[in-house]
Amino acid sequence: MKKALIFQGGWDGHEPAQVAEIIKDILKKEAFDVTVTDTLETLQKEDLSIYDLIVPNWTQGTIERDQLTPLLEVVAKGTGLAGLHGGMGDSFRMETDYQFMVGGQWVAHPGDDGVTYTVNIKDEDHPLTKGMKDFQVISEQYYMHVDPAIKVHATTRFPNAKGPYVSDDEIDMPVVWSKKWGQGKVYYCSLGHVAEVVRMPEVMELMRNGMVWASR
């Protein structure tokens, strides 16, 4: 049986405990043995190499170097990393090594919550998005700064809501991507502002596919 670790916490607005339970349920249905922790001390005190997958679910916050280094190292050695929204894409804003591993960082959500936008699936034959079609979301639309090395699997079109950025040309912003960090596979999905959004069938499918794909 594969083993997964979810570490949850940080800003309460993203409902980290509730989202962690949804992710846990998805993984248990895929026959993972799942551990959930609400302290970053787990990263320095446990042997992370026993896990086939680690799921960060910790918006903002700070992380000590002796907590971050084991995470960076274990993913480089083959443990998978997968997560969503601010729980993985807006964690530990001062830690550029973490952002380098993830492949991007949240910088804005023009229009804030309640924006209606379309998620465009880029490759229906890829295991991460196989058989999926474009779908609409009413939530935050994440504007990300991204690593050009990522492989993009779904996008959304900007500009949508008003803001000074609308003077730029239209762009397709990554919503779902994958990359490698050493021997480890990394998966990210920018959807999932709160538990209600994570429960959307399309988001559940994307997370199931991504976590299974990323796991060692």
pTM value is: 0.97
Q: How far apart, in whole angstroms, are the C-alpha atoms of residue 54 and residue 82? A: 7
Give 101's strand partners. Answer: none
Q: Tokens representing 54?
A: 């680690």
pLDDT at 34: 98
Whole-number pLDDT of residue 168 = 85
pLDDT at position 123, please?
85
What beta strand segments (E) does the chain contain?
Answer: 2-10, 32-37, 53-59, 80-84, 104-108, 115-121, 135-139, 143-146, 151-158, 171-181, 184-189
Query: Residue 159, preceding bond cis, omega within 30 degrees?
Result: yes
Token pair listed for 1: 């049986």
**What pLDDT tens digit does each residue of the chain (216 aa) get?**
999 999 999 999 999 999 999 999 999 999 999 999 999 999 999 999 999 999 999 999 999 999 999 999 999 999 999 999 999 999 999 999 999 999 999 999 999 999 999 999 998 889 999 999 999 999 999 999 999 999 999 999 999 999 999 988 999 999 999 999 999 999 999 999 999 999 999 999 999 999 999 999
Token pair 């060692």 is found at: 216
The CATH number fitting domain 2-214, selected from 3.40.50.880, 3.40.50.150, 2.40.50.140, 3.10.50.30: 3.40.50.880
Can you say whether residue 189 is alpha, beta or left, with left for phi > 0 and alpha for psi between -120 and 50 degrees? Answer: beta
Give the pLDDT of residue 183. Answer: 98
Using alpha carbons only, how large is the chain's radius of gyration in Å?
16
What percent of the chain has a predicted confidence (pLDDT) above 70?
A: 100
